[in-house]
Structure 1
């Protein structure tokens, strides 16, 4: 192993302008972009404002404003991960906005051009459980309603809940009257998305599915006729979909054609669906993904345009913007520097608006003018907060996993303008959450926080990740805690074998499902010298449908990830880190939000009780006011600095300006 010289400071101590506060202040990304007349609106993170999400307005003249000051927080808790939390339209010549306030989950209406009028509630506060929640909203001012998904708790348990497409009157009649909320169809399915109305107003479509399926396992595309005058829905029926077909999005073209992204070919491709027969025609059969996992209600991977083309996101791994001609099947990618687009497309006239980023740029609001073919940033513009010389150069790699299977990863070697890596360096393997998700290759100052100090980062899109077809993501079926752990180790060992990583200075980190993978790795392998585990799953039995320790949406997720709990209960025990605390030999940091209802603190506390007295250096940091995923600036700073301190203590360096993390045994 090459020891850094005096002219080359120890790995982990390279002086860096990317401090924890800078990285934390730029965490998160814009979401839920939409068009209101000639204006563009979206939500944006505000870590310094108690982690709220602000609603941003870009006026037609290009000026930006935040019309809802703190503490207004535009974020939905439907299925806990939320969904599109606002909708808008021009009414009487001015914008009307309806939004979900996170604090009480009520719908509010406000007129941004009438600042003297505060937002007015449209829905009541429920007296049962966690109340009435709303997401995936669309405004229908001609009908005097806003449509969306109603999530209603019927008892105190997280699984005492029902969901149904519903309409709320815009006149405030339902503000104190649950009876004034109009349910559009019978609540026949556990999960639904918001209804999309056909251009002629005579039909509506939405997605539906039931336990134990997750939306990427199988959904149904439902359709109902409705009386255009009364808005009453008729009997609903299924067009396409089922237990083994995932329809991720459906929407109408301007001419009344129904389009849907479904993975019936093994990849999410865009199809034209006959509303009478359910016949689905693939518009462009490719081994690429034109959609993704529906973690939030209202994701939009495609949007039909007025002149007949369809703006789509597509690709293997990363998704880029394209324009698809549904008649010829021709797909054209407009020029631009953005390599990753979020599932949040909107369109008006000849403009397509989305949220896009690159390996050296953060997420921005981007507008494509199809009349000119020119794309430009119109909001949340990326600005280099530090010298780009301190930012990592990312590379997509494919490693050999067990049995010769491919493992995709993004590798970020250390990078610094004044220092270079000589010989093997410390590496941290990042396991993403989900696990049915993926890591995107975009600028992340948290990664730069480590790479600019001389520590490499490897983000692993292990088997089970999306973006590589259904077969790749189903590698994890009943193999969670096995395939993900093996694939992460394969990347770490691959970097060691090629001389890039120091085998004695490897770490693993992750949050949520990534926290599970990290903890499982620490209890089943000797690959890593330490680990940072955030808001994890640690006890599969407690997190199963029988354990009652998580929310309704994921309460039966483990039925596919691990197996039916009633048939293989021993598998749940044997794979759980809490069952193998005696196998942990590496120091670790455990981070947890005390308000987390998805991965509750009880899981961490149970694991810590098993570790106590075993002589393993560790630290547990819990944060009041934080839920699943940290949002507050002070929390993010504390967590990053604690993680770097852990690496310093294990890898043998002292990070300057970072409070030492106190480790217990």
Structure 2
């Protein structure tokens, strides 16, 4: 719906009125995820911030004529906590009678359930038991095998109360519910030989299974293995072996083509390219050698950057920085991209015959479900369609930029200048700018419409998203810049972008800020305590951050990232002094800018105890002259905010910090009380 515009004229940067309020930002938070085909239907999960942040399971019919419908009412929450970040939480398969059968994990108890959506009289029935030990039993990345009466998935089983007291392995769970009260009915398909595994993918004839595995201290984008096994008639795995990958090679995804060939994405060339395993030599064959990425960091198990079609073609998400959808012919290496306005395709692809469905967004549209008919080349939105909640004239107009960092190295960024359809700032004035730092840190910021960015740019505050050295999307060499340099390269690159914008006369040098969550929160906190960025920023917004490296490495995080710092900082046994020296909690006396710190009280990835210690250190070390700061915590929130009321409070508090620090003339949000 359109919103009445303000009168045309001039007003200072940061004071512009905007129809994009925090409630709208909260309502549009999140995106469709974990999309796949069930026969000729398309299913996915979708966020519901207004329902406590639950994930709804959506179903789109075969003819695509009717809107997608939510198949499970509240409180069903289709999400799991595998490696805490979660992974594919559902799977479905068509049946000859009675409609499809679907299995899913329910977030509240982490159990695996089954249900028949076309039989509303039968509620979902549990397939797995509840564990009384530690974090319980978690099930992820399921594949239905109806002919055997089982669902195969990966199990994360806690063996003690600690976050690292656990084992992971592929398992088979009976669909009749006999394991719901009997853990012994769950069949372990291999030993727990690797610390981390993905769910198996089965060859078309069902006689082989392939999956990924890796071990501490590697992260999956550093080094992982492609494992292959023979499958017996009763579903057991035998002759398990490694066929690709290694300590310096990352295999990000594996799938089987219709002809029985094994396809996988590996960065053995320095770029994640799609390869086929040569059955004669056992060697990988690159199907489309390019200096760009056909995969990314495996933060959530089950992400799909490519999907084989029955015809032998392969749908691929690929690019350098920005990721687009293309169709690859493995026989010729020819790659043809889909038409359309979308600048980013998520790693979520499903195939229905000649149709490929995915989740895509553009600079003028949020993530929506899009389908490409490879026979006609026609692309259309089929679900979660973007609707402009305000006049799109209020959306920012981003710029793709490459800046020069220390030593002349490239630093990639997206710059969103302040933008308003009816207002400009007085001549000779410059806007405040906020550097946005993505999480990960081996992740990246996509170039898409984000109403949270628009919230600020439409008010006259610029935003610069920095894909600093270490970000995915630019090859392994760029990614490896962060090895043992976290807290240095990220801090330097963000400061380089901020100062370059000021030097170019784009941003007000005295009104620069930095903000980020998780690893981005670390970079924000490190930036206002590091001599390398001293005096660059006027303030910082720090969300659910890492603040104490030593504590994080010695038990204050979850298992998945518990040894991440071995590569980001260095081996703890040899570089403990480095851990202490770079930690913001150890440099609290150097805080040189006001900050807003926010955390979820249920966060087990970056626990709020680190925030508590940091704030205490700031107040103690400042000896009565603490820099202004606010510390907000939220009950029921974990790592990343999902509830509408939390998101509203967080967004408005961030703006309140900028109003106070930048001296902005506005009173449309509650003031933020700064202590110190």
Residues 275-314 of structure 1: matches in 2 within 5 Å?
275=279, 277-314=281-318
Q: C-alpha separation between the residues in 1 aligned to 2:593 and 2:191? A: 53
Could you say what secondary structure the match of 1:503 adopts?
Answer: coil
Could you say what secondary structure the match of 1:496 adopts?
Answer: helix
The CA deviation at 1:10 is: 2.6
Between the two proteins, the alignment pairs up a number of residues equal to 657
- Equivalent position to 2:462, from 456, 460, 465: 456
Could you say what secondary structure the match of 1:488 adopts?
Answer: helix
State the partner residue of 2:3. Answer: none
Deviations 1:631-652 (A, max 9, x none): 0000000000000000000000
Could you say what secondary structure the match of 1:589 adopts?
Answer: strand
Residues 63-78 of structure 1: matches in 2 within 5 Å?
63-78=67-82
State the partner residue of 1:3. Answer: none
Q: C-alpha separation between the residues in 2 aligned to 1:549 and 1:334? A: 44
Residues 95-494 of structure 1: matches in 2 within 5 Å?
95-227=100-232, 229-275=233-279, 277-421=281-425, 422=427, 423-494=429-500
Q: C-alpha separation between the residues in 2 aligned to 1:445 and 1:58? A: 26
Could you say what secondary structure the match of 1:185 adopts?
Answer: coil
State the partner residue of 2:591. Answer: 584
Could you say what secondary structure the match of 1:157 adopts?
Answer: coil
Higher deviation after alignment, 362-371 or 629-638: 362-371
State the partner residue of 1:631. Answer: 642
TM-score (norm. length: structure 1): 0.98
Q: C-alpha separation between the residues in 1 aligned to 2:644 and 2:443? A: 25
- Equivalent position to 1:548, from 555, 559, 568: 555
Q: C-alpha separation between the residues in 2 aligned to 1:92 and 1:331? A: 36
Retained in 2: the 8 A contact 1:644–1:655?
no
Q: C-alpha separation between the residues in 2 aligned to 1:111 and 1:80? A: 28
State the partner residue of 1:538. Answer: 547
State the partner residue of 1:46. Answer: 48
The CA deviation at 1:276 is: 6.2
Is 1:662 the counterpart of 2:673 in the alignment? yes
State the partner residue of 1:55. Answer: 57
Retained in 2: the 8 A contact 1:288–1:469?
yes
Retained in 2: the 8 A contact 1:645–1:655?
no
The CA deviation at 1:137 is: 1.2
Could you say what secondary structure the match of 2:415 adopts?
Answer: strand
Higher deviation after alignment, 130-139 or 619-628: 130-139
Deviations 1:104-130 (A, max 9, x none): 100011111112221110000011111
The CA deviation at 1:334 is: 2.0
State the partner residue of 2:39. Answer: 37
Retained in 2: the 8 A contact 1:13–1:656?
no
Could you say what secondary structure the match of 1:91 adopts?
Answer: coil
Stretches of structure 1 that go unaligned for 5 or more consecutive residues are 1-5
Cα 1:428/1:419, change in 2 over 3 Å:
same
Deviations 1:340-371 (A, max 9, x none): 10001110111101000101110010111112
The CA deviation at 1:267 is: 0.3
Q: C-alpha separation between the residues in 1 aligned to 2:281 and 2:632? A: 56
The CA deviation at 1:277 is: 4.4
Q: C-alpha separation between the residues in 1 aligned to 2:242 and 2:280? A: 11
State the partner residue of 1:643. Answer: 654
Deviations 1:272-314 (A, max 9, x none): 1135643011111100000000000001000111011000011
The CA deviation at 1:91 is: 2.0
Q: C-alpha separation between the residues in 2 aligned to 1:275 and 1:434? A: 36
Q: C-alpha separation between the residues in 1 aligned to 2:373 and 2:669? A: 47
Could you say what secondary structure the match of 1:267 adopts?
Answer: coil
Is 1:508 the counterpart of 2:514 in the alignment? yes
The CA deviation at 1:65 is: 1.3
Q: C-alpha separation between the residues in 1 aligned to 2:626 and 2:494? A: 26
Q: C-alpha separation between the residues in 1 aligned to 2:120 and 2:642? A: 28
The CA deviation at 1:655 is: 2.8
Q: C-alpha separation between the residues in 2 aligned to 1:331 and 1:469? A: 19
Stretches of structure 2 that go unaligned for 5 or more consecutive residues are 1-7
Could you say what secondary structure the match of 1:311 adopts?
Answer: strand
Q: C-alpha separation between the residues in 1 aligned to 2:370 and 2:543? A: 32
Q: C-alpha separation between the residues in 2 aligned to 1:174 and 1:26? A: 39
The CA deviation at 1:336 is: 1.5
Q: C-alpha separation between the residues in 1 aligned to 2:116 and 2:490? A: 48
Could you say what secondary structure the match of 2:84 adopts?
Answer: coil
Could you say what secondary structure the match of 2:579 adopts?
Answer: helix
Higher deviation after alignment, 43-52 or 137-146: 137-146
